[in-house]
C-alpha cells in the first residue's frame, strides 16, 4: 500500500455523493429522453410545402414519403446514439459505486458507519461520534483505520477501478 492508494480512496469517498447525484441525473435522462418521434416528423413534413402552403395527404409525393422514412431512420439512430452516450457515462459510475459499497461492506460495522456518515452523509467528525455514541477520538481512529484498510484493498486489487 502506498500514499497514492490512500489519496485515491479519500478522493472517491469524498466524491461519492456527487457520483450518486450524477447517476440520478443520468437515470432520469435515460428514462425521459428528449426525442423527436417519427409521428412528429411526419406531421411536420406533411404540413411543410415549398410555397408555404400545406399539402393534403392525397398530394404527398413518393419522394416526400421516402424522405420521411429516411428521417424516421435517422431520428431513431440519433435517439439510440443519445441513449448510448448516456449509458456510456452511467454504467462506469454505477460500477464504481457498487465497488465502493462492496469494499465498504468488507469493513467492520463501525468502520463502515463512520465512513458512510462522514463521506457519504457529509457529517463532521464530532457529529459522527455523537450519533454513534462514541468519542471523537474513537471516531477518528475508526475513520483512519477504515481508510487504511480500504487503501490496502485497492492496492491488493491493483487499482480496483476506483478511478
CA angle 104, 106, 108 (to 5 degrees): 90
With vertex at residue 29, the alpha carbon angle to CA 27 and CA 32, rounded to the nearest 5 degrees, is 105
CA geometry: angle 150, 163, 89, nearest 5 deg: 130
Instruction: Name the pTM for this structure.
Output: 0.72
- The residue-averaged pLDDT of 4-24 equals 94
C-alpha cell at 116: 458512510
CA gap 71, 37 in Å, rounded = 10
State the Cα–Cα distance between residues 129 and 140, nearest whole angstrom: 9
pLDDT confidence bin for 157, thresholds 50/70/90: confident
Alpha-carbon distance 95 to 114, whole Å? 23
Q: What is the pLDDT of residue 46?
A: 62
Place of cell 457520483: 19
* pLDDT tens string 66-96: 666 677 777 787 788 889 999 999 999 999 9
Amino acid at each position: 500500500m502506498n500514499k497514492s492508494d490512500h489519496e485515491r480512496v479519500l478522493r472517491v469517498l469524498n466524491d461519492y455523493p456527487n457520483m450518486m447525484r450524477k447517476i440520478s441525473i443520468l437515470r432520469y435522462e435515460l428514462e425521459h429522453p428528449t426525442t423527436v418521434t417519427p409521428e412528429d416528423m411526419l406531421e411536420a413534413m406533411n404540413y411543410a410545402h415549398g410555397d408555404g402552403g400545406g399539402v393534403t395527404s392525397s398530394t404527398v409525393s413518393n419522394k416526400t414519403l421516402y424522405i420521411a422514412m429516411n428521417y424516421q431512420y435517422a431520428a431513431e439512430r440519433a435517439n439510440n446514439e443519445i441513449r448510448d452516450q448516456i449509458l456510456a457515462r452511467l454504467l462506469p459510475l454505477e460500477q464504481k459505486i457498487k465497488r465502493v459499497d462492496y469494499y465498504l461492506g468488507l469493513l467492520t460495522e463501525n468502520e463502515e458507519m463512520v465512513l458512510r456518515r462522514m463521506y457519504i452523509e457529509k457529517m463532521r467528525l464530532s457529529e459522527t461520534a455523537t450519533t454513534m455514541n462514541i468519542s471523537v477520538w474513537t471516531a477518528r481512529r475508526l475513520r483512519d483505520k477504515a481508510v487504511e484498510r480500504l487503501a490496502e484493498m485497492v492496492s491488493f486489487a491493483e487499482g480496483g477501478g476506483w478511478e
